[in-house]
Chains A and B, each alone.
Chain A
Amino acid sequence: MKVGAIPTHDAYAASWKDRVPADRMPVAVGGPYGQSQPSCFDKVKMGFMMGFSVGMAAGALFGTFSCLRFGMRGRELVGGIGKTMMQSGGTFGTFMAIGMGIRC
């Protein structure tokens, strides 16, 4: 009985592996089919938060370069980077929220 069960399980696992990439397996199993489906507003909010954090990180990177190139130093540089971070965070967050909103 058990000997007969092994190949079918292996075949199932192999076919499953083919369809789902290894690093996203738990997500593909647990994520979309969970009992708690997030609402549309939750998705938009989460998209905004994600976009905001990504935008902050990107703004910190690119803002540093552009502010240094612009010739800012010291306290002015910190302020310039902060402003760029907030700006790009807001822009990214808005676009990400829209991107989430149009898909639900």
Chain B
Amino acid sequence: MEEYTREPCPWRIVDDCGGAFTMGIIGGGIFQAIKGFRNSPQGVQHRMKGSFFAIRTRAPQLGGSFAVWGGLFSMIDCSMVKIRGKEDPWNSITSGAMTGAILAARNGPVAMVGSAAMGGILLALIEGAGILLTRFASSQFVNGPPIPEDSSQLSTPSPFGSYQQYQ
């Protein structure tokens, strides 16, 4: 998720909500097309009709649940950015867990814990993959390495003795 520069905070909610809805609609469309095609009775006519019916009924549902997840996630994320005053992977992980817990709130505490664990683990995996990816990419690209070198060169010989504390 680090590849695009994210929106500033209040607008991020709208952005994530809409992005998740679109993602759910398109992805749900693809998967439900296949599923509806396979579940229909024989004959191309029936299969096409079943495929379209499955897309029409199921894809908006999936998009809606994606949008709810994304919107709530982003709201909690923005609240935590405001409260903690910083923006790091723990925000995403915690807000993923809280989103899972809140969305399962009507199924009782056990379901809440399970859902929270699932959301937290999922977001931790995604964040970890993003960190690994950016580390790999920054070591691979030509313009990656000069930045740490540059800052160390700035700080070591330098009149700016206090630069190091900002690292």
Contact = CB atoms under 8 A, between A and B. Distances in A.
A5 B159 CA distance: 9
B86 to A, nearest CB: 6
A34 interface: yes
A94 B28 CA distance: 10
Contacts of A57: 125
Contact of B3 (A6, A14, A24, A43): A43
Interface string B38-52: 000000000000000
A17 interface: yes
B3 A30 contact: no
Contacts of B159: 2, 5-6
Contact of A46 (B3, B5, B89, B163): B3
Q: Would you call the interface of chain A mostly helix, strand, loop, or mixed? A: helix
Nearest to B134: A27
A50 B136 CA distance: 12
Contacts of A29: 147
A61 B77 CA distance: 25
A62 B147 CA distance: 39
A17 B87 contact: no
For chain B, what secondary structure do more than half of its interface residues adopt (helix, strand, loop), or is it mixed?
helix
A21 B86 contact: yes
Contact of B133 (A17, A50, A99): A50
Nearest to B159: A2
B122 to A, nearest CB: 6
A29 to B, nearest CB: 6
Interface string B63-105: 0000000000000000000000011110000000000000000
B144 interface: yes
The winner among A13, A43, A47, A100 for most chain B CB atoms within 10 A is A13
A9 B125 contact: no
Contact of A58 (B23, B122, B163): B122
Interface of A: 2, 5-6, 9-10, 13-14, 17, 21-24, 26-27, 29-32, 34-36, 43, 46-47, 50, 53-54, 57-58, 61-62, 91, 94-95, 98-100, 102-104
19 contacts: A2-B159, A5-B159, A6-B159, A9-B163, A10-B160, A10-B162, A23-B89, A26-B144, A30-B138, A30-B144, A31-B138, A36-B141, A50-B130, A54-B125, A54-B126, A58-B121, A58-B122, A95-B27, A102-B26
